[in-house]
Each structure stands twice: as C-alpha cells, then as structure tokens.
Amino acid sequence: MVIYEPMIHGTCNSSTYRIAMQHNITIVHQDPLFKGYRSDGTETDDDLLLNDLVNFCFVLVGQKHTNFVGGLGEFITSRLLLYVKTKYPYLIKDKGFLPEFLKLMNSYISVHEATNDWNEVNAQSEYEDLKGHQHMSWHRYGYKTLFELMLNTYNNGSGLPNLDIKLNTEVTQIIWPKDGADVRVVCADGSKYTARHVIVTVSLGVLKERYETLFKPGLPQEKVEAIEKTSIGVVGKIIFKFDKAWWQGLETYYDFMWKTEDIEKLPKEDYWMTKIFGAGRPRGSSNTLSFWTSGEVGKLLEVMPEDIVKRKCMELLRKFMGELYDIPEPTGIIRSTWFSNPFTRGSYSYENRLTIQNANDQRLLAEPLRDSLGVPRLLLAGEATDSHHFSTAHGAVDSGHREAMRLINNSELQ
C-alpha cells in the first residue's frame, strides 16, 4: 500500500526486490521520520511521541483484524486509545492533542488507502505484507527502471528480440469469440491485431468506465459485478521545487495538525486544504517538497487551476511552518493526474466496507474468460486482481506473471 516515493514493500518473495537485486540497483531503506506542526504555527511538543503514535497506527494497517466488524479507522482508534491509556495516560485528558492527531492519521491513512476517509476501508482485510523491510526506495531510478529491467533495455540492454510494443495505440474493443476463433484487438487508429490469447492489464478504473464497450461479447454477469463492487481510489501528489532547501532537520515528513477552531474559520471552498496531511521530502531530491492528498480532494486538485493550487498550498505551508521558516516562492510545480488520465482513472484498489459480503470479487476479477472448449482466451491481470497484494507494484507484476504461466502451463494449449 503505497504512500511514499517509488517503493518496494518487503524483501521475501518480492518480484520487484528480486529484479532490483539481480541488476545491482541501489535500494535505499527509507524509515520515515515525522515532525509535527500545528495550524497556529507552533511545533508539536514531543517528536518522539508523535513518531511512536504514527508508527503504531501504521503497524495496525498491515495486520489482519478478523474479529473486528467496522471501518479501519474505527479499529485503529480503538486500539490507539488502549495504547495511549497504557503508555501515555496523561494524553487522555488532553482535549486538543488526540482529536488533532486522529484527524492527521485519518488523512495519512486515507492517502495510504487512496480513499476519502479511513472508515471507507474494511478493517477485515486479506492484504498480506511481504516479510522484510517495508519502505525501500528505488532512490533516483524510479519505476521506469522496473520496466527497463523487465524489457532488458536497462543500461543499454539489447531488449527482447520477439517483443513488439505498439506505443500510443489505444485499444477500443476486444472481440473474443467463444467458438475457438482468434481474439481480435481493435484500436482507435483503425489497426487490428489477432492472437490466440490476450492478457488485459488495464486498471480497475478503466474497466469500470469501459467494460460495457471494451469487450465483445459482453462480460459475464459475475465478472461485471466483481468490477462494479471492487473499489479503486485516488491518490494525489503535488510537488514543489525550490531554488534550495529552506527547511532543516532529517525528518521525512512535516505533519500538519489542524486545531478544530482553525478548521471552523476556513471558508467552505478551502476545506480541501485540511485533507493535505503535510509535506514530504523525497529522498532522491534535496530541494523539493511533496504534498499528498486522496479521494475526492485528490480528484479536485487534478483539475483546479494551477495558480490556485500553488497559491493555496503555499498558504498552507506558511500557516504551519511560516513562523519558524522564511519560506520562498517555489520555482516549479507538477501534479499527478491518476484520475483524470483516461488510461488509469484511479491510483490503486482497496477493500471497501462490503468486502466481507463480496469476498471473492478479486478472485472473480482474475478468472479468465474461456471459449466453448474451456480454453482461456481473454485473461485479466493488474494489482486489483491480486487478493493478497493489491495496491502494490509487486502485486501488479505478479499478476501478469500469473496469467503468463496460466497459458504456459495449460496443457489444452499445447
């Protein structure tokens, strides 16, 4: 579940970690450190306390909660209060800190899960962390390097001789006859391709938007229901570049903790600012800060005029950190567009509150469509089809390998 820079989560049985190690790619352990600021411009009193509580909450996200019925936020809140009563009993009487901290964690974990609110996520999750360190950065390489490694083009590699990639070629329809004829792929530029088998790896967001027109004949009802009932969320990232770093310290994240009275003073149209949990420092850059948000606010900030986004985010930064730093204007800004991009329509999937009733949806998404002889002709992959490692890069990679091996190992195809 990804909120940091291009990241490898776990080392044991991790396809992304294995590929990096095989090619001597530098992997940097990225243990996040948190520094808190309040909406009145002051620093939080105890950084060790803040880091302990944030890490406690994130450990809970990666655990299974089979006996708890409710939202993830409800589960974390209940366990956090028990932890605080035992380790920090004086905080129970603090009418300011805990409500402010819970708002902060709601925003943090909403980004982690790509949702509007942490209680949109089911506490009973099938997600499984891989063993090993959970926050390892590709550092300056980025995920484009993963594709280069898989395609054998990294470091001037010769590529794969039998691979023919068609870029800028939008698929508009996939015709999968049930009578044993070849599958036909029709593209927007009029080109057509035929194959015995087709593996579809579009995002769940694209499936939701196009499944009625993309496939002919239409998908079976159980596949349609799986697509409709499985959720995909949005994570938004806004990166500001400065001439040089004006901040100090080794912290990875500068957390913004809103006082209730300051939220109430905000104009209604600016409420989205309270859903940005802070500013992060990417490890691969010394002079940039990243702002993160999610859900409907993430969608909003993709289409809001850039000058307004820039002005409001700088107001936010100065509100929390301007008393302690002389903050200059940024020299550049870029934004993610995971939702407005017609070829993604979202960032990654999550388990919604109906997951218990729809426990087989991810498995149904992964089921291939077969012809009248039972031969898989149309196969589906992508992170949303992995019931244990959804929302991750290794889940996406493994799902593609799964479908390739399904064809290779299928004796009916020999």
Q: What is the pLDDT of residues 227-257, one digit of tens each?
A: 999 999 999 999 999 999 999 887 889 999 9
Specify if 259 maps to a domain.
no
Residues 19 and 117 placed together within one structural domain of the fold = yes
Residues 124 and 14 placed together within one structural domain of the fold = yes
Phi, psi of 148 (to 5 degrees): -60, -40
Range of weakest confidence among 10-14, 256-260, 398-402: 10-14
Residues 104 and 57 placed together within one structural domain of the fold = yes
Q: What is the domain range of residue 190? A: 166-232+344-413
β-pair partners for 192: 186
pLDDT at 146: 85
Contact present, 23 and 17 (Cβ < 8 Å)? no
Specify if 333 maps to a domain.
no
**Within a 10 A sphere around the Cβ of 223, how many other Cβ atoms?**
20
Distance, CA of 349 to CA of 33 (rounded, Å): 27
Specify if 153 maps to a domain.
no
Residues 84 and 227 placed together within one structural domain of the fold = no
C-alpha gyration radius of the chain:
23
Residues 370 and 223 placed together within one structural domain of the fold = yes
Specify if 227 maps to a domain.
yes
Specify if 192 maps to a domain.
yes
Specify if 161 maps to a domain.
no
User: Residue 287 above 50 pLDDT?
Assistant: yes
**Within a 10 A sphere around the Cβ of 64, how many other Cβ atoms?**
12
User: Residue 133 above 70 pLDDT?
Assistant: yes
β-pair partners for 253: 34, 280
Specify if 264 maps to a domain.
no
Task: Tell me the angle at which helices 393-409 and 15-22 cross, rounded to the nearest 10 degrees.
Answer: 90
Specify if 55 maps to a domain.
yes
Domain count, the chain: 2
**34-75 tens-digit pLDDT:** 999 999 999 998 999 999 999 999 989 877 677 788 899 999
Which percentage of the chain shows pLDDT scores above 70?
Answer: 95
Residues 97 and 196 placed together within one structural domain of the fold = no
Residues 225 and 370 placed together within one structural domain of the fold = yes
Place of tokens 């694209």: 206
Bin 164: left if φ > 0, else alpha if -120 < ψ < 50, else beta. beta
CATH code at 220? 3.50.50.60
Residues 82 and 200 placed together within one structural domain of the fold = no
Residues 125 and 195 placed together within one structural domain of the fold = no
Residues 68 and 30 placed together within one structural domain of the fold = yes
Residues 30 and 108 placed together within one structural domain of the fold = yes
pLDDT at 318: 97
User: Residue 2 above 50 pLDDT?
Assistant: no
Domain boundary among 119, 137, 155: 137
- Report the amino acid identity of residue 282: P
Contact present, 309 and 333 (Cβ < 8 Å)? yes
Residues 195 and 62 placed together within one structural domain of the fold = no
Range of weakest confidence among 15-19, 52-56, 185-189: 15-19
